[in-house]
Amino acid sequence: MAVSPLDSRYKTEMTPVFDEENKLRKWMEVEVALAKAHAELGHIPKEAPSALVAGMKKVKLERAQEIESEIHHDLMAMVRALAEQSGEYGGYIHIGATSYDIEDTATALIFIEGIEILEKRLEKLASVVKKLAEENKGRVCIGRTHGQHANPTTYGMKFAIYYQELQRDLERLREAKEIMSVGKMSGATGTMAAFGAEGIKMQELVMKELGLKSAIVSNQVIQRDRHAEVMCTLGIIAGTLEKMAKEIRNLSRPEMGEISEPFGAKQVGSSTMPHKRNPHKSERICSLARVVRANVQTALENIPLEHERDLTNSANERFIFPESFIVTDYMAKQMTAILEGLEFYPENITRNLELTRGLVMAERVMMALVEKGMSRQEAHELVRDLAQKAFKEKKGLKEVLKESPEGKKFSEKELDGLFDPATYLGMADKIVDSALK
């Protein structure tokens, strides 16, 4: 039975990347690359790497775990399991390497594999967001700042902001992949002493085989600032996804009711309140974002390892790496599904635009008064007073303005134009177009 929801509820295509089977395979791939480098330099028989490749295909995770239960060392358990399947060439495994030459280099390969899955996931999400921005470029809605009605905006603007944020997330992810595409073959303290004069060449050959760059300098481990950068990037991506989910949650409140998550024909919102349409998928994304962000702190604390390294990073990385990648991937997948079925309620969007009886057009009235010759400060104070009067008397701002002496400055047609939200959107269309290019 699964203990972690990562193995069931939140399982995605990312899950097998971080399972024990893939980790074992990646470790063996690094060992084979090391053997190939030794063979190229004439240290071991040229036939040895091929024998190790053949042996690698026969190694079972269960056997490696059985050995580990006896010797209490997971990397050496892999070495012995591979040696068992490599016949006479089993003695040519792991020559000159320390455990983390293999483990950290393999971790880089795993991270790259995970990042590439997440890249595709975010690209898919971005395409859905872009489509929504294009389709809703002209859908006028009320903007809100400090939770209060501000100026009109458009749903196209909302989605264009998300689209650009996702592009930055993708850029960060690609930069993090570059930072993480580094391996080492430098021994117990980073000096390459076990490889002698050919240490640098050995490392270069191994990394070339694996498609990685060589760490210029390392100690017993690849320095954890690299891993922390990836984790920070995942934390930022989680923040982007939570930002989108929170907006959906808030706008789906009955008193707003502008949009909602897709709701299945047989979906149940509450065990006791049959009417409920809870935005539980968006709430789930907000909940999981906290997990990813919390793991960033742990990754940052792993940077200052003692001397040439200690083991304080090792145990927690078994949790935070798979958890953060799988959860972030799940969140992105879930958000894509939400947005693909997002429902709009135009009548509520219009109702909310008109809710304050024209108060949201106060800035436009102020600017129109400036155009009529009033100073900006005078116009601001006047419109502020008119807005307060309209609020207290539960009247429309247009009505209160018409009753004031300054209202005589405007014709009826001008007043109608001043209070049409659809004509006070500035450069919104062009901004959206620019953001989506």
The set of catalytic residues is: 146, 270
Cα–Cα distance between 240 and 369 in angstroms, integer? 40
Kindly state the tokens that stand for 193: 């002493």
DSSP letters spanning 367-418: HHHHHTT--HHHHHHHHHHHHHHHHHHT--HHHHHHHSGGGGGS-HHHHHHH
- Long-range contacts from 122-128, C-beta under 8 angstroms, 24+ separation: 122/166, 122/169, 122/170, 122/173, 122/237, 122/332, 123/170, 124/336, 125/166, 125/332, 125/335, 125/336, 125/339, 126/163, 126/166, 126/167, 126/170, 128/336, 128/339, 128/340
| Pairing status of strand 182-183 against strand 213-214 | parallel
Residue 134 backbone dihedrals phi, psi, to 5 degrees: -65, -45
Cα–Cα distance between 111 and 212 in angstroms, integer? 12
Which residue type, as a one-letter code, is found at position 87?
Answer: G
Using CA atoms, how far residue 92 sits from 67, 71, 199, 203, in Å, is 19, 20, 17, 17
Task: Answer whether 89's CB lies under 8 Å from 51's CB.
Answer: yes
Q: How far apart are the first and last CA of the chain?
A: 48
